Structure 1
Amino acid sequence: MTLHWKSFDSREACLQALAEDLAEQLQAREQPSLLLPGGSSPQALLPLLAAMPLDWSRVRASPSDERWVPAGDAASNLRLLSAGLPEAQWLDPRQGSTPEQAARHWGGQLQSWLPLTAVLLGMGEDGHFASLFPGTPGLAEALDGAAEPAALPAQAPSEPRLRLTPNLALLLRSDWLGLLVFGSAKRALLEQAQKGQGDWPVRQLLESGVVQVYWAE
């Protein structure tokens, strides 16, 4: 499979280039849409994105996945992201009294945005992306790129365990798809997955052939 690597000498240079590339994608659309991951690495990206010469009030945005916790909880991806980019039009995935109801509602709203302008994902050391973890019930169906684009409840191996996540088919319906990873261990995992080795969820993402990987040690 073909993997488009963008390697940098430092994490700072990687994040700056990523912010510029994302801003370029968003500026090209009249009503752009953006999915961003939570976590420590993307958190460092937010002030760089906020500094871009871009009218964020035009951008419809949502987390690439969310934890089933109250909106004000410190573990909420939306709380983190909306604090960093407060002018964007943020969509809360938790619009329902149950995870199943919220996933259906959120998935329907994301479908109305398709094709997405840009999706940025992170990856864990277990090869998961969004909240598609190894061993998640229904993982094979969630990783079917030919399925109907949707969102679904998911289970993480650590607390908070209950999550909401798009399926792979929805994430692939994007004009631009990026993966941000740091460190030699994650690079080695990606290189193995690129060769068709292992059964990590990210292997199905890479097999789409449309992912741009932003990497630094």
Structure 2
Amino acid sequence: MVAEVEVWLPQGQLRAEHRKMHLFDIDLKGALLAKIHDEDGEVRLSPTDLHGPSYHLMAVDLRNLDELDNKLQQAEVNYSLPTIFLAECVLVYIEMQNCKNLLKWISNKFTNAGFVNYEQVNMNDRFGEVMLNNLRSRGCNLASVEDCFSLETQVSRFLECGWTASRAWDMVQVYQSLPEADRQRIERIEMLDEGELLLQLFQHYCLVVAWIGELFQDIRNYVR
């Protein structure tokens, strides 16, 4: 299982007095060890973790919430600060109950948080079944695939775990929301000539946004 969740706040777009931000990169031990060897600067190393002034790379199994809590406390995370979680094809690899436990833990632990999740969707149609069988044949088990059956199940996953609100779009919607000039530029660079296949792939991946707390409630004004 490949699991990575980044908890971060952007530095470059903030005023100087707000730039003392921290990024926490959480991964499984095997993948994390490769990352550690690529890091530069003043860092503190342990057998599985790397800690810098504003960057923390930690090996944690996201199913073990006690270990996750302990590692974050060791890295001096402040649960009261606004926090954004980024996950790319992570939750789908975690068993459904463990995934719900993780999302509930976050919603209970953090005062103001946003979650941006990118992963599969529409996995119960014919194209999705082919994708699923192909992944299984390579030893990739999508343990929470039922939450990836539709945009509605993606949203419900968060709402059922105590999140204030959630929105979801398949990647067709996301791609078509880009300015036409940008889409044309992308298609020239990538030399895209299989438009139908690309559309099918986009229909089976999605972007989900969820949030808790007053700070992030204005997101609803920018997403539809």
TM norm. shorter chain > 0.5: no
TM score, norm. by length of structure 2: 0.37
Task: Find the structure with the greater CA-based Rg.
Answer: 2
TM-score with structure 1 setting the length: 0.38
Return the structure number with greater helix share. Answer: 2
